């Protein structure tokens, strides 16, 4: 089997490595050449493609092109550029984190030309190369059957961790909700550890506690494994880590979807809001709250910061 991976960031490059080591030939294409060179130097089944013309020349019909690109404009523009060169029966896979509504629109354009379109929600991060990827694929069963051999290699095992979950859009929708759940799990774990740390008189060793929770505990999980390892390596004060947590967009989309569907999802939504709070360097809302408490109750306002405000 041979397919192209277009987009060799951390996830895309590791997927190429896992496919190559599983015996699948991969045409590797990227905007910049360095990731291509690195893969060709390290892996046996990687065929370089330094431009799109070369990528198409290296593929046999039906051609499979798997996009691992940033969601949004980049993915949309790439699909529009590739579409005139694709033929009926070819398969285009969007394996990035596109919003499922955009995916449905892309699929309509692509399938109108007789080209198959699949959306693949991909989870596993930087550990996917070693552990395999959880793959949630949306689209027709006919198209899925074309890429299934690659799916079995990318997954944690040939028979687990992957699935055809439904029609076009369902793969990215499933991955979006997965990420919303992830937000909630991470927030709960972070809050619990913060409470443990604040109980100073017990002098708790959080690295020890998270380590012991990894075996036999109800909260044992891969997230807990990663947390225990980080606390052991970084030290529990984490004083070299800035308290700023980014959000990639899928948590926002999950909260919006819950609102649109009328589904109560307070944990996932609050976890997203807490990420917003961590990104707020100005803290204007809290300044307003302090001012109001002072105005109606005479509560003291802590002043500081710039000389003008002191």
* Residues forming the active site: 175, 182
Distance, in Å, from the CA atom of 109 to the CA atom of 79, rounded to the nearest integer, reads 9
In the three-class reduction of DSSP (H, G, I as helix; E, B as strand; rest coil), residue 66 is classed as: strand
- Rounded to a whole number of angstroms, the distance between the first and last alpha carbons of the chain is 68
Pairing mode, strands 116-123 and 134-138: antiparallel
Which candidate, 134, 165, 170, places its Cα nearest to that of 151? 134
3-state secondary structure 130-161: HHCCEEEEECCHHHHHHHHHHHHHHCCECCEC
Q: Specify the DSSP element, H or E, that contains 182.
A: helix 170-198
Residue 282 corresponds to which tokens in the numbers above?
């100005």
């Amino acid at each position: 089997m041979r397919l192209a991976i277009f987009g060799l960031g951390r996830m895309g490059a590791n997927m190429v490595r896992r496919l190559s080591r599983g015996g699948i030939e991969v045409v590797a294409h990227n905007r910049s050449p360095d990731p291509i060179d690195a893969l060709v130097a390290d892996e046996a089944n990687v065929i370089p493609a330094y431009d799109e013309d070369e990528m198409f020349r290296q593929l046999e019909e039906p051609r499979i092109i798997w996009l691992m690109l940033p969601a949004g404009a980049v993915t949309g523009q790439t699909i529009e550029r590739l579409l005139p060169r694709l033929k009926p029966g070819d398969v285009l896979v969007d394996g990035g984190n596109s919003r499922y509504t955009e995916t449905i629109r892309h699929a309509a354009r692509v399938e109108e030309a007789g080209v198959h379109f699949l959306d693949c929600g991909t989870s596993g991060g930087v550990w996917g190369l070693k552990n395999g990827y959880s793959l949630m694929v949306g689209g027709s069963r006919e198209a899925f059957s074309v890429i299934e051999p690659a799916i079995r290699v990318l997954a944690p095992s040939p028979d687990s961790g992957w699935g055809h979950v439904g029609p076009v859009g369902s793969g990215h929708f499933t991955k979006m909700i997965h990420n919303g759940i992830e937000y909630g799990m991470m927030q709960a774990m972070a809050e619990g550890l913060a409470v443990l740390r604040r109980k100073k008189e017990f002098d708790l060793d959080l690295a020890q506690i998270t380590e012991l929770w990894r075996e036999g505990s109800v909260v044992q999980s891969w997230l807990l494994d990663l947390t225990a390892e980080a606390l052991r390596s970084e030290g529990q004060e984490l004083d070299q880590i800035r308290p700023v947590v980014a959000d990639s967009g899928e948590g926002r989309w999950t909260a919006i979807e819950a609102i649109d569907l009328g589904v109560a999802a307070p944990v996932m939504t609050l976890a997203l809001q807490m990420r917003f709070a961590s990104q707020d360097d100005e803290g204007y809302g809290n300044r307003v709250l302090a001012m109001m408490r002072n105005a109606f109750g005479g509560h003291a306002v802590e002043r500081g910061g710039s000389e003008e405000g002191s």
